[in-house]
Amino acid sequence: MTELHPDLRENVRLLGDLLGQSIRQHPGQECFDLIEEIRAAAKSDRRQESGSGQRLVSLLSNLRDDQLLPVTRAFNQFLNLANLAEQYHGVRRKRGHSSDLMVESLDDVFGRLKDKGIRPEELHRRVAELNIEFVLTAHPTEVARRTLIMKYDEISDCLSKLDHDDLLPAEREEIITRLQQLVTEAWHTDEIRYERPTAIDEAKWGFAVIENSLWQALPRFLRGLDRSLTQATGQGLPYDAAPIQLASWMGGDRDGNPNVTHDITRKVFLLGRWMAADLYLRDIQSLRSELSMWQANEALTAVAGESREPYREVLARLRERLIRTRDWAEARVNGQPADSTDILFENEDLTGPLELCYRSLMDCGLEIVANGPLLDTLRRAHTFGLPLIRLDIRQEATRHAQAVAEIVDYLGLGDYLSWPEEDRQAFLVTELQGRRPFLPRLWEPSDQVQEVLATCAVVAEQTPEALGSYVISMASKPSDVLSVILLLREAGMAHPMKVVPLFETLDDLSGAPASMTALFEVDWYRKYCNDRQEVMIGYSDSSKDAGQMMAAWAQYQAQEQLTEVAGHYGVHLTLFHGRGGTVGRGGGPANRAILSQPPGSVNGSFRITEQGEMIRFKFGLPRLAEQSLTLYTTAVIEATLAPPPGPEPAWREMMDWLTERSLKSYRDLVRDNPDFVPYFRQATPEQALGKLALGSRPARRKVDGGIESLRAIPWIFAWTQMRLMLPSWLGSDVALNEAASSGRMDMLREMRERWPFFQTYVDMLEMVLAKADLRIASYYEQTLVEPALLPLGEALRSRLLICIDQVKSLKQQNSLLQAEPVFAHSMKVRNPYTDPLHYLQAELLKRDRESEDSGQVAELVERALKVTMAGIAAGMRNTG
């Protein structure tokens, strides 16, 4: 097995030693010795393949109450530091270092496309028109507190400084001392939130990612893209091209989150403008010191007047307007009266003066100056704009239908909700084509409908650049889209906003092509959307509804058919992928996922959610963000210009055959087995997840709902914590086993060899199976599950073993992850740190449930339990 890269191993050891020194200082040597004994026991148990973990269990079960917390915190903290070292290793620039995690360069991908016969002018056109949008979402999966994340960022910075080969001994000592201070600070910082973050807190966290990372990373990435494009085609990237866009659901996603109101959304819009003005002010201050030149073209001279330093004159005026804009936004956020005279509101107010300076420098032969920091700021302005980030609005379809129904009822026009879909469509189109107001003047809506209308009013106040998409969850009919457009128009919306149906469940995905066909048949709507349509594909709920194999195939087919429908009507389709971090929610290597989409479905545009801890893992450091942007861009360009092959007819039949069995098997257990829900609730920490203050929204869509109302994130989080990983493989086990026993394995191998979709599916299944652990899952059962339910647990573990065997057979391997030795070793290194957390968690869950039964609240137990959840999430590298 491949060992860790020496540089990475050295950093992990260094951070571990520094943590050990902090523990020796407090709580002391005794605690440090105990932690080392536990770690040694975990390693020893892992070396004995058939070991039961008894020595480790014995050590942990004898812990005193006062030892629970420091022990759990120590293992949690080490896993966070190991993650940090691994994350930094992926972007390190040490001389002679070649990271195992580096992504393919733009030059390499452009060269490969040229070799495939793509003409330079076609490559340039496609890159210049590229539109890749990342949507930062407030899903509650980021377990680390922001205060710790900031310390971890500085630790990464220290590791970078240590990579210099020319450090003097005193300089190295100074860096190590700072590292010791930071590790000690982290050790003495409580890692658990005690209050849920508000939607405003989440939005501020999203802004901080831009300020601390993407603000630097994006122009640097675009410079590299410009350079590679020039080398490949002879033409650079236009200065106003914005191939990367950023949007957010933080403060806009109200689906199932009563904490997101129209007031919250308005405040988030204003906070974005406040932060943007502040960031641009820093840029303008710097540019004023740079652009001291006197040569200028006529256009700039006409604006700057007789000034001897025309660029500084223009930028000084821009600076004054930015200050007024920042002060205006700050006052509005704080609910104070604000003067909006001469503020920057439309994007052209910002880009105009910058472009004026840029064109003047180019005209005066000062290209080298024009293409320096000024171009970086100009590109930021075209990407982030004055709103900083585009805000999506998400709301559930029935809320809009209810709003229209109340208005229709008040007007005496009938019972809208009982009308057939054709009648709803005809009514809505008639209203949209008419000129009279639809909203009655003296009507008083219900509170729920008033909130929908108030949200539409807030949206209507914004500039187009501030708005992303209006996403309708549980959408299934054209009237779901038309009702939103009507409500927005009634609120005063002067320009068309993208209205995006989200198809989530298996039935929704199956019906999506027919729904979009019906919508495109509405001539008025085609004019409204200008023959450009975005459709969101839901990964989380479809997997929870149908199992991972069936969901993946349904998503693939829906994308194929939606691409065909859009092509038939001459509509440019952008697919919006609602992926999570885990395989069970569509996660996995992004470039592999993009390059396995149906041919033609990635047509120069791609939109994707990034959530929770994945935002930090992909964009948390500037170099990391730059690498992630490169990875997505190369994949989208390649999928556009050299799409993967589609499936052979026989492969389609095989997928139908497999998924028919996987779906039945999945639903037979999850929906129809009466023992399943009790087993799930007893064997996993699902019931205790509510104690982790992870996000602003509730874990359930309905407070009194059963498993069907549980959100996809806690559903997967719970199974990951006890290492059965059930959502990602359940159903696949039966399908693959029946395929093998009926002589279909050769066909599956052919599909894996020649079809990127199936290859990616199998590889992701293998990865999640490698994270499963039968011994740990069994221990949770023994500790927490009533005897009557134990046979179900035993059956599930047997099914997991069958799935592992079938994947190994399909890939013709003796063990999992043979082709991914770095990842396999990374998991192996983490085991001695995650194992104690698992065994502790099972014991703590038992004590926690007993204390609830007795009416006593054991604060130490509850706090230690939360730390185990955070630590296991860190060890698995994802939560939900």
Question: Phi and psi dihedrals of 409, rounded to 5?
Answer: -65, -45
List C-alpha distances in Å: 715 to 48, 72, 680, 733, 782: 32, 24, 9, 19, 21
Q: Are 539 and 500 in contact (CB under 8 A)?
A: no
Q: How many CB atoms lie within 10 A of CB 566?
A: 25
Q: Residue 23: helix, strand or coil by DSSP?
A: helix
Task: Give the whole-angstrom CA distance, residue 664 versus residue 735.
Answer: 10
Q: Extract the tokens encoding 805.
A: 């065997």
Helices (H), 385-505: 397-410, 421-433, 447-460, 478-490
Q: What is the 3-state secondary structure (H, E, C) of 320-353?
A: HHHHHHHHHHHHHHCCCCCCCCCCCCCHHHHHHH
Q: Which of 5, 89, 124, 139 is catalytic?
A: 139
CA distances from 869 to 68, 692, 825, 865, 878 (A): 14, 8, 23, 6, 11
Closest CA to 89 of 154, 142, 163, 145: 163
Strand (E) or helix (H) holding 18: helix 6-25
Query: Using alpha carbons only, what angle is made at residue 593 by residues 589 and 598, rounded to the nearest 5 degrees?
Result: 175
Alpha carbon of 861 to those of 347, 739, 841, 864: distances in Å?
53, 47, 10, 5
For every residue of 573-617, DSSP letters joined together read EEEEEE--SSGGGT-S-HHHHHTTSPTTS-SSEEEEEEEHHHHHH
Paired with 253 in beta bridges are 394
Q: Is 71 exposed, middle or buried (0-12, 13-18, 19+ CB in 10 A)?
A: buried
Q: Residue written as tokens 């609730």?
A: 681
DSSP code, position 855: T
What phi and psi, each to the nearest 5 degrees, are found at residue 637?
Answer: -65, -45
- Gap between the Cα atoms of 561 and 226, Å rounded: 35
Rounded distance between C-alpha atoms, residue 324 and residue 336, angstroms: 15
- 375 alpha carbon, distance to own chain's centre: 29
Closest to 777 in 3D by CA, of 143, 38, 44, 53:
53
CA neighbor of 191 nearest in space, from 865, 746, 848: 865
What are phi and psi for residue 157, nearest 5 degrees? -65, -40
Burial of 267 (0-12, 13-18, 19+ CB in 10 A): buried
Sign of the four-CA dihedral 878, 605, 395, 464: positive
Whether 572 is catalytic is no
Name the active-site residue from 544, 618, 811, 866: 544
Contact call for residues 774 and 782 (beta carbons, < 8 A): no
With beta carbons less than 8 A apart as the criterion, state whether 516 and 575 touch: no
Q: What is the 3-state secondary structure (H, E, C) of 63-79?
A: CCHHHHHHHHHHHHHHH
Q: What is the DSSP letter of 261?
A: -
* Annotated catalytic residue 116: no
User: Identity (one letter) of the amino acid at 49?
Assistant: E
Q: Do residues 225 and 722 touch, judged by C-beta distance below 8 A?
A: no
Per the DSSP assignment, residues forming a β-bridge with 538 are 578
d(CA 723, CA 769): 9
Catalytic residue numbers? 139, 544
